[in-house]
Amino acid sequence: MRVLVLGSGGREHTLVWKLAQSPKVDKIFCIPGNAGLCELAECHNLPLSDFDALTDFIRAKGVDFTVVGPEQPLVNGVVDYFQERGFPVFGPNRQAAQLEGSKIFSKKLMAQYGIPTADFREFDQAGEAFDYLDSLPEGPVVVKADGLAAGKGAVVCPNRAAAREAVHHMMNDLIFKDAGSRVVIEEFMTGEEVSIFAITDGKDLITLTPAQDFKRSLDGDLGKNTGGMGSYAPSVYLSPELHQTALDTIIYPTLKALQAEGILYQGVIYAGLMLTPAGPKVIEFNCRFGDPETQVVLPLLQSDLMEIFLAVAEGRLGEIEPSFYDGSAVCVVLASGGYPDFYTTGKVISGLEGLPEEALVFHAGTQKNERGQFITSGGRVMAVGAKQSSLQSAIDSAYRYIAGISFDAMHFRKDIARKALEHKI
């Protein structure tokens, strides 16, 4: 089969890497890709917003199947567009992708079907949001833009004054454009965060290994929120019993709720959960694989990913019994100095050629210069990781690999998954 992957991050490099292992896959294309994954896939630079150009590409290259990595094209309806033209694709259609594309949609769905999540109110008028904030007791509260805001749309506010400011920026200053013209104000929850992944064909589902990502830029979960500085799986905080509780109270009811609403959801349901004292609650739903969770979740999947994607598209996921490696995987993101604020790019990356075969190296912001060297081209440059029989040895291997890699002003967290190690003991 000839497969096309849409996207350019570490998640997409991992998807390409995993699909390349399938005996069903002869050739992989990627739009736009990055320098690392271009070693496994033929990369082309087309805008993901130009659905006509994408369908022309699919026809011209004889692509049999497309996998959509990021949320924006899903929310914009790329899947509907392909399906209307008879091109098989993995990912939810526009209506289903609202689960991530609209916080108000997903919160209302959860409220209506009794799926545990933070209490919330929605607003389309700033004045009403301010009045509501005034009525709350003093304390932390969370303000979220309704629409997609490149992962920056959720603001955890330490007090009501900060929340007023967040509402003002979103609704009056429109810092996220139309995505912030409606907001959700929700209860502040506490607990460990975990990411769980279900792949569904709309009828049946399979689950992947639960993971944990590290969003803050600095060790000790300090510093600013980023796209993710590392991850590991399986999460030590989600015991098999708690995972089952999360499936029974969240994932299965969500699939049932979507069915009851007449929405055919085919793709990944990624639930960001908070393990609160009252049990697992949904922080948010995403309609695609997580980044950087995919970089540890897919290496732990033993089964053929292409077979799973085909089963989803053909509505026969019930036939699939996935198998997993019994071990742990860890990845650490190497970022450009200054990220997530201002950073410079174009730095030569050295040490990659010395890595052993089993090192997991997934590029994100990389290019090649005219001398054929890898150079940095983004904030998150690559994720380097390992899969081992124990979490401790996976952490040790990942950091040993990283010790040999360098670029000017390279920054990475030194404590990825280390707290999880303490939890186990």
Of residues 66, 101, 71, the one with CA closest to residue 83: 66
Dihedral of the CA atoms 381, 224, 191, 183 (nearest 10)?
-100
Binding partner of 290, given ligand GLY, ligand AMP, none, CB within 5-8 angstroms per partner class = ligand GLY
Q: Does 291 bind ligand AMP (CB under 6 A)?
A: no
Q: Whose Cβ is closer to ligand GLY: residue 146's or residue 293's? A: 293
Interface with ligand AMP (CB under 6 A), residue from 48, 154, 360, 394:
154
Q: Whose Cβ is closer to ligand GLY: residue 7's or residue 33's? A: 7
Q: Whose Cβ is closer to ligand GLY: residue 171's or residue 283's? A: 283
Binding partner of 51, given ligand GLY, ligand AMP, none, CB within 5-8 angstroms per partner class = none
Q: Whose Cβ is closer to ligand AMP: residue 190's or residue 323's? A: 190
Structure tokens at 403: 């010790």
**What are the helix (H) ranges across 304-388?**
305-313
What b/e string do you get for 178-205 counting C-beta neighbours within 10 Å, with b at 16 or more? ebbbbbbbbeebebbbbbbbbbbbbebb
CA dist 43 and 6 (Å) reads 10
Structure tokens at 235: 């999460």
Q: Does 291 bind ligand GLY (CB under 6 A)?
A: yes
Q: Give a three-class secondary structure readout of 225-257.
A: ECCCCEEEECCCCCCHHHHHHHHHHHHHHHHHH
Measured from each CB, the residue nearest to ligand GLY is 290
Q: Whose Cβ is closer to ligand GLY: residue 230's or residue 349's? A: 230
Q: Whose Cβ is closer to ligand GLY: residue 81's or residue 265's? A: 265
Going residue by residue from 204 to 223, which x/- string records binding to ligand GLY, judged by CB under 6 A?
A: ---------x----------
Interface with ligand AMP (CB under 6 A), residue from 77, 223, 272, 337:
272
Binding partner of 378, given ligand GLY, ligand AMP, none, CB within 5-8 angstroms per partner class = none
Structure tokens at 130: 């301010």
Binding partner of 186, given ligand GLY, ligand AMP, none, CB within 5-8 angstroms per partner class = ligand AMP
Return the bridge partners of 270, or none. Answer: 197, 286
Helices 126-135, 160-167: axis angle to 10 degrees equals 170
Binding partner of 12, given ligand GLY, ligand AMP, none, CB within 5-8 angstroms per partner class = none
CA dist 218 and 223 (Å) reads 5
Going residue by residue from 240 to 279, which x/- string records binding to ligand GLY, judged by CB under 6 A?
A: ----------------------------------------
Shortest distance, CB of residue 156 to ligand AMP, whole angstroms?
5
Binding partner of 284, given ligand AMP, ligand GLY, none, CB within 5-8 angstroms per partner class = ligand AMP
Q: Does 293 bind ligand GLY (CB under 6 A)?
A: yes
Q: Does 284 bind ligand AMP (CB under 6 A)?
A: yes
Dihedrals phi, psi of 399, to nearest 5 degrees: -70, -25
Of residues 213, 190, 157, the one with CA closest to residue 274: 190
Number of residues that bind ligand GLY (CB under 6 A): 7
Ramachandran class of 317: left when φ > 0, alpha when ψ lies in -120 to 50, beta otherwise:
alpha
Q: Does 186 bind ligand AMP (CB under 6 A)?
A: yes
Residue that is written with structure tokens 């289903």 in the block:
96
Q: Does 118 bind ligand AMP (CB under 6 A)?
A: yes
Q: Whose Cβ is closer to ligand AMP: residue 202's or residue 210's? A: 210
Give residue 86's identity as a one-letter amino acid code. G
Number of residues that bind ligand AMP (CB under 6 A): 13
Give 185's contacts (C-beta < 8 A, 6+ positions apart): 120, 121, 123, 129, 132, 133, 141, 142, 143, 144, 163, 167
CA dist 411 and 381 (Å) reads 10
Q: Does 216 bind ligand AMP (CB under 6 A)?
A: no
| Contacts with ligand AMP, residue ranges (CB under 6 A) | 118, 142, 154, 156, 186-189, 193, 215, 272, 283-284
| Contacts with ligand GLY, residue ranges (CB under 6 A) | 151, 213, 228, 286, 290-291, 293
